[in-house]
């Protein structure tokens, strides 16, 4: 069950694909160059390998439970969380003005992958806190920031996001939780929220809930939703904790995976004597974030941060499943190799199909890691670069990439985790090997923070049709420039260039189809929305793998690759070639299904299902 953080691969992507040396030239990031990235990642790896990863299987066997008055987390989680906060890991990429370390996202995202690979159930608590911090930084008042941010950034307090209700899943227009204005400027919150990750737990002294609710008289639909801070314990003027707020966990869900992460049903202001016996009175006290009726706008700040982070979770669970499968394939002896290279039965890693499965797992994981790393670098430039045009260009790139990082990386994680079970054979179906846990844990990633279909709708509507495909076409032009570099290289590079060119053309065909039909033939376009997302994610990950191949070849040719080592660089070239031959090669078929296959999706009479 051991885990070794892939620090070398992360650092390779950070330096040669994301351009950490350029990021460190941005004002405020001068001390965040490659050496800093290496030091931080190595320390992060050590902490997570030694402290957090050993709790992963324990959490699956002995998950959080609701004990009537609160929630007890898996044995060991509370102590590990204390070490996590003492080590400053919550504060990595948050502003120094509130006690953060101010590191770029490109470093923070890599640390996030390590934490999630070590223990995704545990990592969900800091991830939701990150989202709450982002929302308050953007929309919170000065008083609100002063009251909450330092405690959240230190990890002393944790954060949640409260959107979903029993009748309102992805359709937030159906939110019914109500907020009643009070004479003192506060609000009383009444309603039920479900699927609240770490909505109740015993690891921190306070939990800061960010809650969507409707103020009385607000417009119907999403335009009438406001955002409120509703802490578990009210905060006194001096920053100390006061009375218990009237928000309570009434149950936690029993889930397929991420079992150690308590997913709470929270009741706000039920007004019963039992719920308010130790509280400030009936109705949960809430504080308006920003302006009334702009809550969804603010919550999307939190959701965009969370969507990228969930994509990283997909990469993390794929990495863990891959490592487990490689370990098993090296140890499991069964059948003589088909080429007769061994005189008797040997480890199954000698079998060509096992190697195909392992290479698929590796290529998907490295491709998505490279894509997410480059996207994180774009975020850093978009938010901190002194040149306005550079900020604008990188913002457009990052926004285009978020649904791909979230949608493609999480869908691939299910495929990779499934292959991990397959490599184990029958033992993969037995819980004691641990392979099944990764498969179960991965499934939620395509659902929460917006399903894959919601990411695809975003890609079609906001990221492609809205600007007439200009951002997509600009990306295709950059990819074409990479093809030209590949064509000047050796046979491996030229083979990748051909696959990349075919995938790019397939992508452009689909972009044209989407832009031409999004208004006139919406059913046809949205019938292929998820396949479009998968094609686009495939292309962007394949593009980064092609760039990685070029970088590895340049380092080998120049003799400057000593810090990576020849075996690592050769493996990178081989993995990139595999990605092109076996994964990127799917793009033309994906294009045909989207452009030519819409009718067969929508023609079936509804009563025939």
Count how many Cα atoms sit within 13 Å of the Cα of residue 602 in the half-sphere of its side chain: 13
DSSP code of residue 189: E
| DSSP assignment letter at 518 | T
Q: Which of 96, 128, 97 is nearest to 112 (CA)?
A: 128
Per the residue annotation, which of 200, 319, 449, 483 is the catalytic one? 449
In this structure, how many other beta carbons lie within 10 angstroms of the beta carbon of residue 544?
26
Beta bridge partners of 264: 196, 252
DSSP structure class, residue 165: B
Whole-angstrom CA distances from 80 to 53, 119, 363, 373 are 10, 11, 32, 27
Cα–Cα dist 388/390, whole Å: 5
Q: At which residue do the structure tokens 């049709």 appear? A: 465
User: Based on the number of CB atoms within 10 Å of its own CB, is 99 exposed (0-12), middle (13-18) or buried (19 or more)?
Assistant: middle
Structure tokens at 591: 């294009």
Backbone angles phi, psi at 269, to 5 degrees: 60, 55
Secondary structure of residue 548 in the 3-state scheme: helix
Sign, CA dihedral 60-61-62-64, equals positive
Strands 65-66 and 157-162 turn out to be unpaired
Residue 179's closest CA among 209, 204, 155, 144? 209
Instruction: Give the per-residue SS3 of 328-358.
Output: HHHHCECCCCCCCCCCCCCEHHHCHHHHHHH
Structure token pair of residue 316: 């993390």
CA-based Rg of the chain, rounded to a whole angstrom? 25
How far is the C-alpha of 252 from the C-alpha of 66, rounded, in Å?
Answer: 6
Tokens 């800061």 sit on residue: 208
Find, among 516, 498, 470, 465, the residue nearest to 585 by Cα.
498
Q: What DSSP string describes 443-490? A: HGGGTTTS-HHHHHHHHHIIIIITTTTHHHHHHHHHHHHHHHHHHTS-
CA–CA separation, 73 and 158 (whole Å): 14
C-beta separation of 181 from 278 below 8 A = no
DSSP strands (E only) in 37-154? 65-66, 71-72
If you search the block for the tokens 């639909």, which residue do you land on? 221
As a whole number of angstroms, the distance between CA 504 and CA 328 comes to 37
> What does residue 497 show for φ and ψ, rounded to 5 degrees?
-60, -40
Active-site residue flag, 150 = no
Tokens of 10: 């992360």
CB 598 within 8 Å of CB 526: no
Q: Which two tokens stand for residue 593?
A: 């299904």
**Residues annotated as catalytic (active site), given as ranges:** 449
């Amino acid at each position: 069950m051991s885990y070794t953080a892939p620090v070398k691969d992360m650092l390779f992507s950070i330096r040669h694909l994301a351009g950490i040396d350029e990021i460190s030239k941005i004002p405020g990031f001068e001390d965040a160059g490659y050496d800093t990235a290496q030091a931080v990642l190595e320390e992060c790896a050590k902490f997570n390998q030694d402290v957090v990863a050993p709790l992963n299987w324990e959490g699956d066997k002995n998950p959080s439970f609701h004990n009537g008055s609160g929630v007890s987390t898996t044995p060991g989680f509370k102590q590990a969380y204390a070490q996590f906060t003492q080590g400053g890991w919550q504060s990595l990429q948050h502003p120094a003005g509130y006690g953060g370390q101010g590191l770029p996202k490109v470093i923070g995202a890599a640390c996030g992958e390590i934490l999630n690979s070590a223990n995704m159930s545990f990592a969900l608590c800091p991830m939701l806190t990150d989202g709450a911090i982002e929302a308050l930084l953007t929309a919170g008042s000065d008083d609100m920031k002063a009251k909450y941010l330092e405690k959240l950034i230190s990890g002393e307090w944790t954060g949640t996001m409260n959107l979903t209700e029993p009748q309102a899943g992805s359709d937030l227009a159906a939110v019914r939780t109500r907020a009643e204005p009070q004479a003192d400027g506060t609000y009383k919150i009444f309603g039920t929220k479900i699927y609240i990750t770490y909505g109740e737990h015993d690891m921190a002294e306070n939990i800061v809930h960010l809650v969507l609710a409707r103020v009385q008289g607000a417009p119907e639909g999403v335009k009438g939703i406001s955002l409120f801070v509703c802490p578990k314990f009210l905060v006194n003027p001096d920053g100390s904790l006061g009375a218990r707020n009237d928000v309570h966990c009434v149950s936690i869900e029993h889930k397929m995976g991420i079992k150690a992460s308590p997913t709470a049903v929270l009741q706000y202001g039920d007004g019963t004597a039992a719920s308010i016996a130790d509280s400030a009175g009936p109705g949960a006290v809430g504080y308006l974030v920003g302006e009334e009726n702009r809550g969804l706008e603010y919550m999307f700040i939190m959701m965009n941060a969370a969507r990228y982070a969930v994509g990283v979770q997909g990469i993390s669970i794929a990495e863990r499943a891959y490592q487990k499968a490689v370990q098993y394939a090296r140890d499991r002896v069964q059948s003589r190799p088909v080429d007769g290279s061994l005189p008797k039965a040997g480890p199954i890693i000698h079998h060509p199909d096992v190697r195909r499965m392992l290479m698929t797992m590796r290529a998907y994981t490295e491709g998505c890691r490279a894509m997410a790393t480059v996207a994180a670098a774009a975020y850093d430039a978009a938010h901190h670069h002194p040149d306005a045009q550079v900020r604008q260009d990188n913002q457009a790139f990052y926004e285009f990439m978020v649904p791909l990082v979230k949608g493609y990386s999480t869908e691939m994680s299910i495929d990779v985790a499934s292959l991990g079970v397959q490599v184990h054979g029958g033992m993969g179906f037995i819980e004691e090997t641990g392979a099944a846990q990764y498969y179960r844990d991965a499934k939620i990633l395509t659902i929460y923070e917006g399903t894959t279909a919601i990411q695809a709708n975003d890609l079609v509507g906001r990221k492609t049709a809205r600007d007439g495909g200009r951002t997509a076409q600009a990306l295709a032009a950059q990819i074409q420039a990479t093809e030209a570099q590949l064509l000047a290289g050796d046979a491996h590079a030229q083979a990748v260039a051909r696959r990349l060119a075919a995938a790019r053309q397939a992508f452009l065909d689909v972009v044209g189809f989407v832009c031409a039909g999004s208004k006139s033939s919406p059913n046809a376009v949205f019938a292929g929305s998820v396949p479009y997302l998968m094609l686009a994610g495939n292309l962007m990950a394949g593009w980064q793998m092609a760039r990685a191949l070029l970088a590895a070849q340049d380092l080998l040719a120049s003799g400057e690759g000593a810090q990576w080592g020849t075996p690592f660089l050769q493996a990178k070239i081989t993995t990139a070639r595999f990605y092109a031959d076996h994964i990127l090669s799917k793009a033309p078929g994906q294009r045909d299904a989207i452009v030519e296959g819409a009718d067969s999706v929508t023609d079936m009479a509804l009563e025939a299902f």
